[in-house]
Amino acid sequence: EAPRYVGLEETSAAPAASRAGARYLVSWHVACYSRAVFGPGGGAGVGRRTILVIHGPNLNLLGTREPDLYGRTTLAEIDAGLVALGRDLGVEVDTFQSNHEGVIVDRIQQAGTSPDRPAAIVINPAAYTHTSVAIRDALAGVGIPTIEIHLSNVHRREPFRRRSYVS
C-alpha cells in the first residue's frame, strides 16, 4: 500500500494552532495518528509500536526563535510531552531533529530498513516542506504511513509556504 500524506493543520477536526497551543497541536496529531494506526487502544496489547517524529531545520530554536509566531515552548518540552503521550497510549515515540536535508533523508531511509521499523512517521519538515523533493522521495520510498504537521498554519503565511513537496 502506498503511503498516505495528510496535512492535518487544515482539517476541520484539528484544533487551531496558536502560539500557546503548538505543543498541544503536535500531541493531538500523534494521538490521532496512534489511534488511526493502532486502533482505539493506541498500541496497548499489540506488541512494540513506534511512531518516529522528525523535526526539520530551525526547530531546535523553538522557545527563542520568533516567539510571537512559535511561542516559548522548546523542542525538548515538545519531545518530552510526545514521549509521555506515547507512554499513555502504549506507543513508543522516537524523536529526531536535524537542520540538514541529507541527514533527514538518511534517518527516513534508516527507519525504512530497520528491524525496528516504525509503524508511522510524523514529520514537520519546516522550511524543507517547500523545497525538498529528496525528503518527499525518501518518504515515498520507505512506504511508512506519514503525516506532515506544522506549528503554524502555512496557508495563512507567505504564499511560498503554501506549497508542500512533502504532502
Which neighbouring-strand residues pair with 148? 7, 123
Q: Clarify whether 155 is annotated catalytic.
A: no
- Of 29, 33, 55, 70, which one is the catalytic site residue? 70
Q: Is 93 left (phi over 0), alpha (psi -120 to 50) or beta?
A: beta
What's the rounded Cα separation, in Å, for the pair 75 and 14? 21
CA torsion through residues 57, 107, 11, 93, sign: negative
Q: Clarify whether 150 is annotated catalytic.
A: yes
Q: Which residues are catalytic?
A: 70, 150
